[in-house]
């Protein structure tokens, strides 16, 4: 098989009740779990990324000193080893074959900026596994999903985003992100239509 599934940041701090909650985050967690229960066997790899920020510093300016601007600076979120950094409990991660942590001491939006538990980059992992096509789901459409998809395309992968299994911070910026993904060569579809 040459297709992988990338699940971006389905974490407590990005779902309802979290430090940077995205409306619809819990629905994404449930939907991804349902999708995995039915389709995980179709993938050569199921990879899940997580923000995994340092708790003792501002992570290269990522954590706001005062009021966050919600563009480059953010409230404290997804600190390594905390409940906020854990996967949302509605997301059944049992089918995940590889975990990627990103933002360890620095700003990082794309899963391609992270590393696996073995220290491999996502690009190297995909190459080692022979994965050339990636389906992407997760949170947030207009930030980490967008950055991960654009990096995957730049990395030479064919990418498809399941629009029913993503949630964004805001409708306008999410629509703009999906348009940018399409313009870059990414495909958009519903998970049930493929």
Separation in Å, CA 94 to CA 65, 131, 153, 161: 37, 20, 27, 22
**101 carries an active-site annotation:** no
What is the CA 114 to chain-centroid distance, rounded?
A: 11
Residue 143's pLDDT is 96
What is the C-alpha separation between 107 and 125, in angstroms, rounded? 22
CB atoms within 10 A of CB 1: 12
Give the mean model confidence (pLDDT) for residues 118-123: 96
Which listed residue (13, 135, 144, 151) is catalytic?
144
Confidence category of residue 194, pLDDT binned at 50, 70, 90: confident
| 118 contacts 129 by C-beta, under 8 angstroms | no
DSSP the chain: --EEEEEE--BGGGSTTSTT--TTHHHHHHHHHHHHHHHGGG-SEEEEEEE-B-SSS-TTTTB-SSS--SSS-B-S--BTTSGGGSBPTTS-GGG--EEEEE-SSS---SGGGSEETTS-BHHHHHHHHT--EEEEEEE-IIIIIHHHHHHHHHTT-EEEEEEEEEE-S-HHHHHHHHHHHHHTT-EEE-GGG-
Would you kindly state where each structural domain of the chain is located, as residue ranges? 9-121+141-193
pLDDT digits (tens, 9 = 90+) for 128-175: 999 999 999 999 999 999 999 999 999 999 999 999 999 999 999 999
Give the pLDDT confidence score for residue 1 in this predicted structure.
57
pLDDT tens per residue across span 57-110: 999 999 998 899 888 899 999 999 999 999 999 999 999 999 999 999 889 999
* CATH code for residues 9-121+141-193: 3.40.50.850
Catalytic residue check, 144: yes
pTM: 0.96
CB 147 within 8 Å of CB 174: no
Neighbours of 167 (CB within 10 A): 26
Cα(51)–Cα(186) distance, integer angstroms: 23
The catalytically annotated residue of 78, 102, 142, 151 is 102
pLDDT value of position 160: 98
Q: Say whether 78 is catalytic.
A: no
Q: Which residues pair with 139 in a beta bridge?
A: 167
The size of the chain, in residues, is 194
Question: At residue 30, does pLDDT exceed 80?
Answer: yes
- Among candidate residues 9, 26, 142, 151, the one labeled active-site is 9
């Amino acid at each position: 098989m040459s297709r992988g599934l990338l699940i971006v940041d389905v974490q407590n701090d990005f779902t309802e009740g979290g430090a940077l909650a995205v409306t619809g985050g819990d629905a994404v967690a449930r939907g991804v779990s349902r999708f995995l229960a039915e389709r995980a066997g179709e993938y050569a790899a199921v990879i899940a990324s997580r923000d995994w920020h340092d708790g003792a510093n501002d992570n290269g300016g990522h954590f706001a000193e005062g009021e966050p601007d919600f563009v480059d600076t953010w409230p404290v979120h997804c600190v390594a080893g905390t409940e906020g950094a854990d996967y949302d409990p509605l997301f059944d991660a049992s089918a995940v074959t590889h975990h990627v942590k990103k933002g360890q001491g620095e700003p990082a939006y794309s899963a391609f900026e992270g590393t696996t538990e073995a220290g491999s980059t996502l690009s190297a992992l995909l190459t080692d596994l022979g994965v050339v096509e990636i389906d992407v789901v997760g949170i947030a459409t207009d930030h980490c999903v967008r950055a991960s998809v654009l990096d995957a395309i730049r990395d030479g992968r064919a990418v498809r985003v399941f629009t029913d299994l993503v949630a964004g911070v805001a409708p306008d910026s999410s629509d703009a992100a999906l348009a940018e993904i399409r313009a870059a060569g990414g495909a958009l579809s519903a998970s049930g239509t493929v």
